[in-house]
């Protein structure tokens, strides 16, 4: 079994999540887009337990349980890694109190598309040269589906377009189970 590809996707994804979570405010952030610690309500909805296990079935063959990797700095990010064997895919799903406006105003991300799903705002963005994100606005922040890719397009690795296709597929497949809030 080749574990190199899923491990690489997970490492790229975890690196991007840490970079995003630990990043400073973008120069365009305002009081409206960056809440102080005192103003934020805690995110408690866990993506590893919030989705039923069978939600993974339509995407492909899987034999691993979702794996939690939560953190807090400066935003709460309750992270879960979902993995599939066929297709060979790892997706980081995080519930965070960081908003879609924070993502829009973050210079490290390129907005690729803005849309809606089930009446909720969706922002599809590229963490340049590393991962594609399908982020859904849910109070008090967002639910983020992240798929890493290989900027250098090594053989057998995902491209940006493929990563965005899978991020969208997982987000839309999980959509019927989105919580009302992340509190």
pLDDT, mean over the chain = 84
Residues with Cβ within 8 Å of 3's Cβ and at least 6 positions away in sequence, in order, are none
Q: Is the pLDDT of residue 1 over 50?
A: no
* Confidence at residue 41, expressed as pLDDT on a 0 to 100 scale: 73
- The domain of 23 spans 4-177
Q: Determine, yes or no, domain membership for 130.
A: yes
Q: Determine, yes or no, domain membership for 182.
A: no
Q: Determine, yes or no, domain membership for 183.
A: no
pLDDT-based confidence at 94, cuts 50/70/90? very high
Q: For the chain, percent helix, then strand, then coil, each to nearest 5?
A: 25, 30, 40
Q: What is the pLDDT of residues 101-155, one digit of tens each?
A: 999 999 999 999 999 999 999 999 999 989 999 999 999 999 999 999 998 888 8
* Confidence at residue 24, expressed as pLDDT on a 0 to 100 scale: 40
Taking the C-alpha atoms of residue 65 and residue 76, their distance in angstroms, rounded to an integer, is: 23
Q: How many domains does the chain have?
A: 1
Q: Determine, yes or no, domain membership for 164.
A: yes
**Greatest CA span in the chain, whole angstroms?**
49
């Amino acid at each position: 079994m080749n574990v190199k590809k899923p491990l690489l996707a997970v490492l790229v994804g975890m690196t991007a999540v840490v970079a995003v979570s630990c990043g400073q405010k973008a120069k365009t952030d305002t009081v409206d887009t960056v809440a102080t610690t005192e103003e934020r309500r805690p995110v408690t909805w866990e993506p590893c337990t919030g989705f039923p296990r069978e939600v993974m079935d339509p995407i492909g063959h899987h034999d691993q349980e979702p794996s939690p990797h939560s953190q807090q700095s400066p935003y709460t990010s309750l992270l879960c890694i979902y993995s599939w064997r066929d297709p060979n895919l790892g997706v980081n799903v995080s519930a965070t109190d960081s908003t879609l406006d924070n993502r829009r105003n973050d210079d490290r991300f390129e907005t690729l598309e803005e849309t809606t799903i089930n009446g909720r705002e969706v922002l599809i963005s590229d963490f340049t040269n590393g991962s594609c994100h399908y982020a859904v606005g849910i109070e008090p922040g967002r639910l983020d589906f992240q798929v890493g890719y290989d900027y250098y397009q090594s053989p057998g690795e995902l491209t940006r377009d493929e990563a965005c296709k899978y991020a969208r597929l997982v987000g839309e497949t999980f959509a019927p189970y989105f919580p009302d809030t992340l509190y």
